[in-house]
Amino acid sequence: MELVGKRALVNGGSRGIGAAIAIVLAEKGADVAITYQRSPDRAAIVVRSIEEKSRRGLAIQADSADPEAINRAVTETVDTLGGLDILVNSAGVATAGMTADLSLADLQAMLDVNVRAPVLFAQAAIPHLSSGGRIISIGSSLAERVPFPGVTAYAMSKSALLSFTRGLSRELGPQGITVNLVSPGSTDTEMNPANGENADYQRSLTSLGRFGEPHEIASAVAFLASPAANLITGAVLNVDAGFNA
Ligand code: NAP
């Protein structure tokens, strides 16, 4: 219960990795707001799960591609939970395909949701964070290395979070706020199901020969959110079954 009294906002918390993060932060004692785009029912299930742990939960419909929605989500979180201590940027979109065939709409969505939104969420959150505060983003093992074709723009969008994390850690260090990146490998979610078309190929690229589960990514986020990680900032934690070994 090392996060008792903390207030967290997890964007993209209705499903997959973000939902698992919201639930583990509540298990550790935090009150948790989540955002979602188009899954109100799934978001309500996550809120119920948070409340079952006797924590306050809140679901906010907010498209991460919409700057005004981002500001509204942070304001609503602060107003409802009484402040903000932990921001987790988990919302993400991925469109596979060769660069030559990538539509402008898909490229724009990946840049807006995967790159611009974490910056805008941080801008909105920073005035509310104090010493001990946390900004944790979800990157991808497809950032430092891109070992197969068809994910170029997605990998490019996730690699932007490497320098965002490092640079922001320099800016917020003097205030005692840490900024870190968790980079999952192949993780069994609707974005990348473990029984999907090329799942066996993805497994073959790992040391452990398997996909991760959302809760295994969430536990790394919970560690970085905890006081045990007070000295860790500007770091990239690969949680990828050895994909990047
Ligand atoms: P997912 O199962 O597709 O879930 C995506 C989540 O993001 C949902 O909660 C979704 O909300 C939300 N979201 C998507 N677009 C949004 C938008 N415009 N505004 C607000 N929320 C939005 O994906 P996931 O696998 O859990 O991925 C979570 C993060 O991990 C992403 O950043 C992804 O890039 C990263 N990641 C995933 C893997 C993997 O193998 N799964 C590997 C590396 C990194 P709705 O339910 O409302 O649509």
24-33 residue pLDDT tens: 999 999 999 9
The full set of domain ranges for the chain reads: 7-239
pLDDT at 180: 99
Q: Which atom of ligand 1 is nearest to the CA of 139?
A: 44
Packing angle of the helix pair 40-52, 16-27 (nearest 10 deg): 20
Distance 43 CA to ligand 1 centre (A): 13
Tell whether the model's pLDDT for residue 2 goes beyond 90. Answer: yes
What CATH architecture applies to the domain 7-239?
3-Layer(aba) Sandwich (3.40)
Angstrom distance (rounded) from CA 38 to CA 65? 13
> How many angstroms separate the alpha carbon of residue 11 from the centre of ligand 1?
9
Residue 1's pLDDT band, with cuts at 50, 70 and 90, is: confident
Mean pLDDT confidence for 188-200: 97
Give alpha helix (H) positions in 173-239. 199-204, 214-225
Contact 2, 25 (CB under 8 A): no
- Give me the DSSP letters along 32-43: EEEEESS-HHHH
Closest by CA to 162, choosing from 237, 239, 70, is 237
Q: What is the dihedral of CA 36, 42, 48, 53, to 10 degrees?
A: -80
Q: What is the DSSP letter of 228?
A: G
Does 211 score more than 90 pLDDT? yes
Nearest to 117 by CA among 218, 10, 32, 189: 10
Question: What pLDDT score does 165 carry?
Answer: 98
Three-class DSSP category at 120: helix
Atom of ligand 1 at shortest range from CA of 64: 19
Ligand 1, atom 33, lies closest to the CA of 92
Give CA–CA dist 31/115, Å, rounded. 26
Residue 112 pLDDT > 90: yes
Whether 3 is in the pocket of ligand 1, judged by its Cβ within 6 Å, is no
92 lines ligand 1 (CB under 6 A): yes
Catalytic site residue from 154, 164, 211, 243: 154
pLDDT tens for residues 40-83? Answer: 999 999 999 999 999 999 999 999 999 999 999 999 999 999 99
Average pLDDT, the chain: 98
Amino acid at the residue 215: H
Q: Which atom of ligand 1 is nearest to the CA of 36?
A: 47
Tell me how far the alpha carbon of residue 163 lies from the centroid of ligand 1, in angstroms.
Answer: 21
User: What confidence tens digit (pLDDT) does each residue in 122-171 have?
Assistant: 999 999 999 999 999 999 999 999 999 999 999 999 999 999 999 999 99
Confidence (pLDDT) at 16? 98
* Percent of the chain's residues with pLDDT above 70: 100
Q: Is 36 a catalytic residue?
A: no
- 124-145 in b/e form (b: 16+ CB < 10 A) is bbbebbeeebbbbbbbbbbbee
- As given in the structure block, the two tokens for residue 44 are 């309500």
